[in-house]
Amino acid sequence: MTRLDTTVFYISGHGFGHASRQIEIINALRAIRPHLRIVIRTSAPRWLFDLAVTRPFSFAHGEPDTGVVQIDSLEVDAAASIGRAWDFHRTLDARAKTEARLLERHDATLVAGDIPPLAFAAAAAAGVPAVAIGNFTWDWIYEHYHEQVAATPDLLPVIRNAYATADRAWRLPMAGGFASFPRVVDVPLVARHARRAPAETRRMLELPADRPLVLVSFGRYGLGAVDWATVAQQHDLGVIVTRDPVDTGPTLSGANGHGALFEVDIAAMLDQGFRYEDLVAAVDVVLTKPGYGIIAECAANDTALVYASRGDFAEYAVLVEAMPRLLRCAYIEQRDLFAGRWAPVVRQVLDQPPLAARPATDGAQVVARGLAEYLGTGVTQSEVRR
């Protein structure tokens, strides 16, 4: 085994997208380097990793960044987001020293961050090389809130200085930021691919095969009040809502089990040997807010996407601009989303022709090969700085 045999992954806990794509990279990396020790440092729930990481790992729960403050799944509180970010990053040097001791305890020889500034500051303090993987940077996200950032003028420089200590960044599609990283390498989408045939998934989960299926997917922050009675009346569709250990699903007010509505319990689905990406591949349309993870997953599994606005978030415009090149997609007004008037836009997206060319979705393997090559070089932080 080479000297660089322990990699610590710092993963933002903002939503589930950061975690899901890093799980794919971790699994791909361990397929190449099966004896590599992996430590996961994140505020995302451990069950996400226990369910999907294929080999043993160490888990160090902690808050590596503050992300943004969500009012709900579709709205961001900009003032609270910047306030929390500054409260955290104003003490980044002290936090980095504490994290450096964690890296030393784990005998870390490489840090990979998606994409908390703390990861890179801690690696620099510990003398460990660090690399970034992501599709946006937090300075780029926060810079969008000009008025709020003006009250904390040191926030962006602190973040950028931390990013500048990294050796390189693997930049995913639908990107924003990355100006602070000394070396940037563009890679394909990192995405989860179904392992079960759609017909098998529908049959085993008792979902109808005689109509288009729509999966409601709003991730960690759930979805606000919807007129589920109206949704249930759309008998030409099957609408799937899910329950998992974090999001217990909507209150269906007696509509569940009637008309268009079908419920899938994620834990029970996993016990049957099916994964979320199998469900995405089995449906015709995912109804969601745009985020890197769900867009990549739909693109990888040739599933159409209907999206609602996610409020004042810098990433939104980049995602919307990129989506038509990656998958069939259509926009739904929030008033129609909450009123349950989904059928017209679902029919619209299903009538779209297939893409002329499918996007590459092997980013996990590309990044894993890059990490494996990097591990084999035996680079030190002092050498990175030179």
Angstrom distance (rounded) from CA 68 to CA 87: 13
Topology agreement, domain 6-190+362-385 and domain 198-350: yes
Give the pLDDT of residue 70: 83
Give the pLDDT of residue 369: 96
Angstrom distance (rounded) from CA 206 to CA 274: 13
Angstrom distance (rounded) from CA 55 to CA 77: 38
From 241, 329, 324, 248, select the one nearest 285 (Cα to Cα): 329
CATH class, range 6-190+362-385: alpha beta
**Burial tier of 300 (Cβ tally within 10 Å: 0-12, 13-18, 19+):** buried
Give the pLDDT of residue 246: 59
- Domains of the chain, by residue range, sit at 6-190+362-385, 198-350
| CATH code reported for the domain at 198-350 | 3.40.50.2000
Angstrom distance (rounded) from CA 146 to CA 122: 28
Give the pLDDT of residue 255: 42
From 69, 89, 71, select the one nearest 81 (Cα to Cα): 69
Give the pLDDT of residue 254: 42
Taking phi first (over 0 means left), then psi (-120 to 50 degrees means alpha), and beta for anything else, what does residue 238 get? beta
For the chain, which ranges sit under pLDDT 70? 1-4, 73, 219-224, 245-259, 377-386
Give the pLDDT of residue 380: 42
Give the pLDDT of residue 258: 55
